[in-house]
Amino acid sequence: MPSVSEKQRKFFGLVRAVQKGEKPSGEVSSALSKVAKSISAKDAADFASSVAETKTKQVILSILKDCREPMYLEEEETNPVAKKFTVQQPFERYVKRFIGQPFSPKEFEALDSYTEQKPTKIERTEIRYETTDDFQNSTTTIIKKMKDGVEFSYNAFSKHTKVEPPEEEPTPGGETAAGGPEPTGSEPGGSADLPPLEEADTTPPNKPVVTPTPTENENDDVTITKSILFKDDIKGAAILAEFLKKLDL
């Protein structure tokens, strides 16, 4: 039976190249390497060109079924990110507006393939990553699986929070925060012409530093990264594994 697509012919062309030693097995996927070891050179050549025996085809398809998950993106060389944009919205409220679809066991397994960062929270319909760098700048990313017509896509909602440096305040002892002396009466702007104050209190006021807490309605820069579309869980898991690598977690 002839190959059903140009991609199949290319795939088995690579299988033949590995079998003949023209392409090192380390430069191809484990799935392709497995196929190259499992079938004969004649069967691979037949399948790559035009015709393959029914029995041979069944064996090959059985092998491909076991390892098709990692082949999806590698065979097609597809960028898992479809588009990326930013909106001004309160982060948590904005994310809650989108109803996520339940992740499948295959998709949860795909999380283990991304070892650079582990989720801080995994729920049935969302995956949350929270990180803080050495300068206390934080990043929060929530991933949801969204219905898109008859297909699905992954949508990552990200918020980056930078810590603002504290403002310099005058320090006791006649010096400012910049280290310079306070002006005296003999200098321009001094107080030589003013009468002395009785029992002047030189103790600096003990004012607490209050950091304003963001309100629920305060807008954030929310970055949305959307994946390419998919229909089945196996392809979705393969896309999710590559999608995570494209995010700034």
Domain boundary among 76, 93, 124: 76
Domain boundary among 53, 76, 99: 76
Lowest mean pLDDT among 137-146, 181-190, 223-232: 181-190
The domain in which residue 68 lies consists of 6-76
Alpha-carbon gap, residue 139 to 161, rounded angstroms: 6
Residue 34 domain flag:
yes
Question: Are 65 and 125 in a shared domain?
Answer: no
Domain boundary among 76, 104, 120: 76
Q: How far is CA 114 from CA 159, 230, 243, in A?
A: 20, 20, 10
Residue 60 domain flag:
yes
Question: Are 137 and 54 in a shared domain?
Answer: no
- pTM for the structure as a whole: 0.55
pLDDT attached to residue 196: 58
Q: How far is CA 58 from CA 47, 136, 178, in A?
A: 11, 56, 79
pLDDT attached to residue 16: 85
Question: Are 13 and 38 in a shared domain?
Answer: yes
Number of domains making up the chain: 2
CA atoms within 13 A on the CB side of 186: 1
Kindly state the percentage of the chain with pLDDT values over 90: 38
Q: What are phi and psi of 62, to 5 degrees?
A: -65, -40
Q: Residue 143: which of 231, 226, 54 has the closest Cα?
A: 226
